[in-house]
C-alpha cells in the first residue's frame, strides 16, 4: 500500500502555462485525507515552491534544489547539501569564459549578473525576486546550486551537460528542462531527498510512488517502489518508469493516483 507520493512540480502537477487543475488539486486533497504523505520534490528554489504547497494545503517538508535542501513548512532546515565553494567558483568562471547566462543561488536567494530576458522569463509567475550584481562582489558561500540557461538553443544546453560531466565528474550535472543545465552537490539529488524523508517517517521503498517528467526526475523515480513517468516525459526518463501515465495536459498525475493508490484503499 502506498504511504508516500513524491512528485515533481513543473510538467507533472503544474501545467507550464495554466497552473494546477481542480482535478489535480482534488486528487492531492484526497491523498492527504487518506493519510498519504504528498511531498513536492523539485529543482525550484524553496521560496518558489512554498506557495505551491500552500495552494495544495500541504504540511509536509519541501524537497527543493533537486534534493539539495529540505525544509519543513515552518522553515526549519532538515537536510542540506550545498555546492562546494571551490567548485562554484570554477563553474562561475566556466560560464563567464563561455558567455553563458547562469543563475546563482545563495541561501535561497537568486543572483544574476545581467538583467536579461532569460532571468525575466525564468522568474515570471514564480513568485521569485532576484538581485543583479557582479558575482565578484558576492561572498560565494552556501551555494544551493547553479543553473545555466539558454532558452534559444536546447542543443547547446545538452553540450554543456556533456562537457561538465567530463570536466567535473564528481558533481551532479543534469538537464532539467530542454533549456536548463543544473549543477549541484553530488548528494543533492531527488532520490537522496526522498530517501531522507522516507527514513525519517519509517516508510519503505515499496510504499513510495514517485512521478515526474524530465531527466532530473530519473533520480526521483529511482526512489520509488512504483515509478511513474508522465506522458509528456522525456524518452530517457520513460526508460526508468514502471508505468507511463497520461500527459500533464490531461491530468496524468490523477490517472496514476487512481490506478496505484485509490484503487487499493480500503473503503
Phi, psi of 209 (to 5 degrees): -110, 130
Confidence of residue 266 (pLDDT cuts 50, 70, 90): low
Does residue 218 surpass a pLDDT of 80? yes
Does residue 142 surpass a pLDDT of 80? yes
Phi, psi of 172 (to 5 degrees): -95, 110
Compute the average pLDDT of residues 62-79. Answer: 96
In the chain, which segments carry CATH 3.40.50.1000? 4-80+188-264
Helical spans, DSSP H, in the chain: 22-33, 50-56, 85-97, 117-123, 154-167, 190-201, 218-222, 235-238, 252-260
Does residue 68 surpass a pLDDT of 90? yes
Closest CA to 83 of 195, 191, 11, 187: 187
Percent of the chain with pLDDT over 70: 99
pLDDT, tens digit, 9 for 90 and up, residues 89-132: 999 999 999 999 999 999 999 999 999 999 999 998 777 899 99
pLDDT, tens digit, 9 for 90 and up, residues 20-51: 999 999 999 999 999 999 999 999 999 999 99
Percent of the chain with pLDDT over 90: 94
Whole-number Å distance between alpha carbons of 265 and 169: 44
CA Rg, the chain, in Å? 18
In the chain, which segments carry CATH 3.30.1240.10? 85-184
pLDDT, tens digit, 9 for 90 and up, residues 249-262: 999 999 999 999 99
Mean pLDDT taken over the chain: 95
Compute the average pLDDT of residues 226-253. Answer: 97
What are the DSSP calls for 163-227, one per residue?
HHHHH-TTSEEEEEETTEEEEE-TT--HHHHHHHHHHHHT--GGGEEEEE-SGGGHHHHHT-SEE
Does residue 267 surpass a pLDDT of 70? no
Q: Hey, which CATH number is domain 85-184, 3.30.200.20, 3.30.70.1400, 2.40.50.140, 3.30.1240.10?
A: 3.30.1240.10
The fold of the 4-80+188-264 domain, in CATH, is Rossmann fold (3.40.50)
Confidence of residue 264 (pLDDT cuts 50, 70, 90): confident
Q: Distance between alpha carbon 234 and the CA centroid of its chain, in Å?
A: 15
For the record, the C-alpha cell of 30 comes out as: 484526497
pTM of the full structure? 0.94
Pairing state between β 130-132 and 109-112: parallel
For the record, the C-alpha cell of 137 comes out as: 562582489
Amino acid at each position: 500500500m502506498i504511504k508516500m507520493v513524491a512528485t515533481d512540480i513543473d510538467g507533472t502537477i503544474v501545467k507550464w502555462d495554466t497552473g494546477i487543475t481542480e482535478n489535480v488539486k482534488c486528487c492531492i486533497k484526497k491523498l492527504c485525507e487518506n493519510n498519504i504523505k504528498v511531498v513536492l520534490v523539485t529543482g525550484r528554489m524553496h521560496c518558489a515552491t512554498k506557495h505551491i504547497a500552500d495552494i495544495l494545503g500541504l504540511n509536509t517538508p519541501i524537497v527543493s534544489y533537486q534534493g539539495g535542501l529540505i525544509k519543513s513548512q515552518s522553515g526549519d532546515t532538515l537536510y542540506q547539501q550545498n555546492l562546494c565553494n571551490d567548485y562554484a567558483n570554477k563553474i562561475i568562471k566556466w560560464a563567464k569564459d563561455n558567455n553563458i547566462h547562469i543563475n546563482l543561488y545563495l541561501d535561497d536567494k537568486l543572483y544574476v549578473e545581467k538583467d536579461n530576458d532569460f532571468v525575466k522569463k525564468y522568474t515570471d509567475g514564480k513568485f521569485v525576486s532576484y538581485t543583479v550584481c557582479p558575482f565578484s562582489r558576492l561572498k560565494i558561500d552556501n551555494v544551493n546550486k547553479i543553473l545555466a540557461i539558454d532558452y534559444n538553443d536546447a542543443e547547446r544546453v545538452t553540450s554543456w551537460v556533456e562537457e561538465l560531466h567530463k570536466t567535473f565528474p564528481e558533481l551532479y550535472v543534469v538537464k532539467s528542462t530542454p533549456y536548463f543545465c543544473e549543477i549541484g552537490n553530488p548528494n543533492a539529488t531527488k532520490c537522496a531527498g526522498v530517501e531522507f524523508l522516507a527514513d525519517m517517517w519509517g516508510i519503505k521503498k515499496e510504499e513510495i510512488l514517485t512521478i515526474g517528467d524530465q531527466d532530473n526526475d530519473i533520480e526521483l523515480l529511482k526512489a520509488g517502489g512504483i515509478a511513474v513517468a508522465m506522458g509528456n516525459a522525456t524518452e530517457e526518463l520513460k526508460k526508468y518508469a514502471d508505468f507511463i501515465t497520461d500527459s500533464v495536459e490531461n491530468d496524468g498525475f490523477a490517472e496514476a493516483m487512481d490506478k496505484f493508490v485509490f484503487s487499493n484503499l480500503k473503503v
